[in-house]
Structure formats: C-alpha cells, structure tokens
Amino acid sequence: MTELPTSVSIREVGPRDGLQNEEPIPTDAKVKLLDALSRTGVRRIEAVSFVHPKAIPQMADADEVWQRAGKVDGVRYSALVPNTRGAQRALAAGFTEIEVVVSASDTHNRRNVNRSTEESLDDIAELIALLHDAGATAEVIVATSFGCPYEGDVDPTRVAAIVDRVVRDGADRVAFGDTTGMGTPRRVRELVTAVRDRNAQVPVLLHFHNTRGTALANMLTAMELGVTEFDASVGGLGGCPYAPGASGNLATEEAVHMLHDMGIETGIDLDALIEAAELAEYLLDKKLPSGVLRAGPRTRLTPRPS
C-alpha cells in the first residue's frame, strides 16, 4: 500500500482564481470573503491579481481589496501578475509571494497573452530577477499542463522542459494547472514523474479543476506520488472561459472533507470553511457546485423518523 502524507498544504484561490471567472461583485463583498477565509485556519491564500482592468474587470479593484483586507498572522498571502507592470504593483502593495503564468500549449499562450510560450518564458526570466531583487519569491504556474482546449493532449516532456527552463532562470516553485479539467490520475502520474525525474528538488503544487469530475481522484494520485501542496477554491468557485458551462476549481471543503477523513491534517476548520462557502454563495447570488456545501460533512446525520 502506498504511504500517504500525514499533512497537506492547501492554498485557497477562491478570492482570485475563483472570482476572476465569475460575474464581478462589489469590493465590500470581496473583502468579506477574503476575511472569512482568513479565519478558517487555511495558511495560504491567493488574494488578488494585478492585471489591467480591461483584461480582467473582476480584478480592477485589487489594490483596494488588499488594502482593506484584514491580514491574519500566520497566513501567507500571494498575488498573481501577468507582467513586469503587474509585478511592480504587487511589490508596491507589499506582497512577497508572487505568481506568474505561462501556458505549456503555445496556442493557449497566444490566445491568453498574444505571444508564444518561448517569448513568455523570456519575459518570465526577467520578472524572476526583478522579484528576487525586491526580496520576493517567484512561483511559475504552467497552465494547460494536462491538456489544451485547442491542441488536445500536452506531452509531459514539454511541461518538464518548461520546468527545466524556469528552474534554470531561478524560479522558487512551480505549479501545474489543469486549466480545463482534462487531467486524469494516469496523466497526473505521467506528469509528476516526468518533472520529478529531471527536477526532484523543486517544490511542486498542483491546481485541479473538477470540469469532468476527476479533481479528488487526481489529488489522491498526486499524494501517492508525494505531492503535498494543492490549490482549491471555496465552494468550487470559478471555471474557465474555454470550457463553457463547466464546473470550477476543486472545492476546498470537498478536499478538506476527504483529507480529514483519511487522517491527513490541513490545519483548516471544516465547519468554518463551509460557512465561508455559504457566504460565497450568498455574495454571488448563485448556487456553487460543491457537494459538501450541498450535503454537509459525512458527520451530519439526518434525524431519525419518530
């Protein structure tokens, strides 16, 4: 039997990745959600992204959200940036953990930022140097790591080669995004193995979408391979513009519910997390796809008939 980790670190990405794919909500609502999540015991939160408001109007108030948020001691907050200008804004706001994205699929990268993957990697090399000079860490997120909505399957060796490049350029960490939920346990095993064979020392985080219902299975497979860091989004917030009608990210409360029942620690209070998911549902005025939000934890019993 494969030995599983005793603890797992979850980065809550609902305030950024989740909300970025939803209809815009008021700044007050974003601050409320961020503060509620900060009180759940989660130790890492992706708070905002510093992008041009014309590109992502949902994040137009990122500076104000971050300024007004109640930062909780012991919680590590990070920001996503698309370029040098975004990195400068994130640094000015006080962030010391910063993420940048590149797509393994050249077509997806061109659709996203109007340049090739190789051109983006050249820019990222300069961005890593800028962040390090400012005392910040740089995480490179490789989108479409498990498949592309335009090109189909993505060869794990291509992703591993991108990791080779960003590690050589000084990236502190790497993450792999299942952008449209094309990942399966087999593909997770192939990708993690390909990367680890060439860069065993680099910290790895996985970001799964539940588009086709495989997110928890993918997470379990990754844990069997020794991965202990994952992204998840409260209530399953989010989605992808390239997968219309699809469900969003792996729901944080679904991941925590499974992990705790397996005896794997997260440091997160599941009841508080479900309350935060209920708040997210209220603030967005829509039903979110999380099964644990709908049914509650397995410990919630139905009263016996009298």
Whether 258 and 266 have beta carbons less than 8 Å apart is answered as: no
Which residue, 285, 208, 298, is CA-closest to 24? 285
Q: Are the beta carbons of 264 and 240 closer than 8 angstroms?
A: no
* Spatial contact of 234 and 277, defined as CB atoms under 8 Å apart: yes
Closest CA to 30 of 69, 71, 87, 77: 69
Q: Answer yes or no: are the C-beta atoms of 216 and 254 closer than 8 Å.
A: yes
- Tokens 């592309």 label which residue? 148
Query: CA–CA separation, 285 vs 226, rounded Å?
Result: 38
Active site residue 148: no
Interhelix angle 156-168/117-133, nearest 10 degrees: 30
Residues in the chain: 306
Radius of gyration of the chain (CA): 18
> How many angstroms separate the CA atoms of 99 and 297, rounded?
32
CA-to-CA dists, residue 165 to 31, 42, 146, 160, 265, angstroms: 37, 31, 18, 9, 34
- Spot the catalytic one: 194, 240, 270, 273: 240
d(CA 122, CA 184): 30
Catalytic (active-site) positions: 240
